[in-house]
A = this chain, B = another copy of it.
């Protein structure tokens, strides 16, 4: 038996083990989650969430770690959620880079968790937001959400943050890669890391061009800044924090923060509702009803749509 009330209370006090256990409950889609989320609800909504994404090799993990340091210098409590949606068969996130985070391992004001969402259908959509709720409830001022890889799932997760940072590095053909994965559209702040290398200026220029930053815009529009960093040496991170704070102020001023959060909550609620319906359908698996329907489909007596109608009818009657 898990004592949810005690666990939530300990997490609110910032006890790392309690926070870790709650995120494990999210990761395992534990039945206690309902109770956890109900208990946390009144204490959420304070944290500012920042999504970080970019191709492998741009220094995402190093940048995240350096950004944690920058926020710690400002006295902020920081949460880091490293999400690996592309680990289909592993029991946990494969994050070799997590070693970088060791710098912060003994800091009681930093919470670091990696999470494999294991490609559960619908899992991505609700798991990351709920892990964020836990870190939010634990009093984090800022939560950094780092995704591994650059598939669509990664992009979606990063885009769910209040502010999304897209990382690039010189000479990786990143421009094209980024455009392909659609990550340019989601960037609120761009970081060209490894700026001490050849080609950093060219990358920034190319990016500037691709973003059409030279073009005329409405006065109220947000112009994504491009910040150069050398994360491994901690250079430029204060400028990143500054850019993030500016974006946050812009979001608040334009009512965008509330809009983004409502949209995110709507997506989350929808995903949970869908998971619940899936579970009901899943309960029918092994059930004679679905087996019969499948048999008739195989025999060509029934098309899959009419079979699905019958399945849904049985479900919504129940």
Tell yes or no: A130 within 8 A of B by CB: yes
Interface stretch of the complex, out of A9-17, A100-108, A275-283: A275-283
Question: Given A261-B298, A291-B262, A298-B45, do A152 and B119 touch, yes or no (CB 8 Å)?
Answer: yes
Question: Given A262-B298, A266-B291, A316-B316, do A308 and B41 touch, yes or no (CB 8 Å)?
Answer: no
**Neighbouring B residues of A130 by C-beta, 8 Å:** 304
Judged by DSSP, the binding face of A is: helix
**Neighbouring B residues of A266 by C-beta, 8 Å:** 285, 290-291, 293-294
A309 to chain B, nearest CB (A): 8
Interface stretch of the complex, out of A32-40, A60-68, A235-243: A32-40
Tell yes or no: A211 within 8 A of B by CB: no
Tell yes or no: A269 within 8 A of B by CB: yes
Whether A302 pairs with B152 at a CB distance below 8 angstroms is: no
CA distance A299 to B34 in the complex (A): 18
Which of A38, A45, A151, A304 has the most CB atoms of chain B within a 10 A radius of its CB? A304
How many chain A residues touch B (CB < 8 A): the figure is 68
A270 to chain B, nearest CB (A): 6
Question: Given A44-B300, A88-B155, A182-B89, do A281 and B270 touch, yes or no (CB 8 Å)?
Answer: yes
**Neighbouring B residues of A302 by C-beta, 8 Å:** 41
**Neighbouring B residues of A281 by C-beta, 8 Å:** 270, 273-274
CA distance A182 to B91 in the complex (A): 13
Say how many copies of this protein the assembly contains: 2
Tell yes or no: A172 within 8 A of B by CB: no
Whether A277 pairs with B152 at a CB distance below 8 angstroms is: no
CA distance A163 to B165 in the complex (A): 44
Determine the residue in chain B with the shortest Cβ distance to A293: B269
Whether B262 pairs with A312 at a CB distance below 8 angstroms is: no
CB-CB contacts below 8 Å: A240-281 with B: 258, 261-263, 265-266, 268-270, 272-274, 276-278, 281
**Neighbouring B residues of A33 by C-beta, 8 Å:** 305
Tell yes or no: A20 within 8 A of B by CB: no
Determine the residue in chain B with the shortest Cβ distance to A282: B270
Q: Contact residues of A with B, CB < 8 Å?
A: 33-34, 37-38, 40-45, 86, 88-89, 119, 121-122, 125-126, 129-130, 133, 151-153, 155, 180-182, 258, 261-263, 265-266, 268-270, 272-274, 276-278, 281, 284-285, 290-291, 293-295, 297-309, 311-312, 315-316
Top 6 A-B residue pairs of the complex, sorted by shortest distance between their CB atoms: A88-B152, A272-B308, A266-B294, A265-B294, A273-B308, A41-B303
